[in-house]
Structure 1
Amino acid sequence: MMISRYRHLIEQLGAHFSLPLQGSLHQATTMQVNGVELNLYHGGLIVPDSVLLYCEFGPLPRLQREQVLLRLLETNMYLFNANCPAFTYQAQKDSIFLICRFSLSSATLESTLELFDFLVSLALRWRRDYYLFGEDEAGI
């Protein structure tokens, strides 16, 4: 059953990061990697061979919010596909998340850590200039 694969992966991640994660108790798990929050959810009955991963990029800036949100919408356009990541906004936290889904049947500890490293690097990069790349950063 796929939930057992998910729980095993969570236990491996817990051991790798020295976190008290016991996969047998979790269908949802939160962890921090280099100051970036990652939330993992088992796909459940609808998509049991999957993990839904939320990577918190951080709060929107107080200034230039519209410009930053437009850049994220533009980025979503380039990412658009049935199995591709997407940016989303969580109003309760006033924060941007990149969400993606990955297959449990092909996931290993190494491939998951590689995905974490990639997403964390994207989040840390976004926190520097919100992907505006020097376009009038004075107001950020």
Structure 2
Amino acid sequence: MTADRQAERDAIQAAARRLLAGTPTQSTGALTVLQLAAEAGVKRWVLTHKHPDLRQAFEDQRRAADGVPAAYQHLENKIADLEAANRRLRADNTELTERVDTYAQVIRELVTELDRQPRNVAALPDNVTRLPNPR
């Protein structure tokens, strides 16, 4: 094996380690063959045609990591928790909105019923206080 070929292999292996660890230095950090080539500083065809074993090893490691660099895997759990909390909050919000709408309808019906009653304050039950009519 020539020195250039060995240098390419070393660069690709080091780049794969950096990408899988979530510490890229020359790429976006995405776990793709294209970003592996960019991280290693080689052309994509060098990786896919001259070193297919390294490409395959990288893809196997990526699959094992579910496509998420190790440095970011703890965030996957946090994202799942936040999404669950978001779903709960949205459901609570929907329930509360429906409840407020129901209360508003009841208040409108009570106001209508009170408007039908005579204005005689003495005719109202003891626990009802008529508010001034803003109309």
Which of the five TM-score ranges fits, normalised by the shorter chain? under 0.3
- State the structure with more CA Rg: 2
Which protein is richer in helix relative to its size? Answer: 2
TM score, norm. by length of structure 2: 0.25
Higher relative contact order (CA 8 A, sep 6+): 1
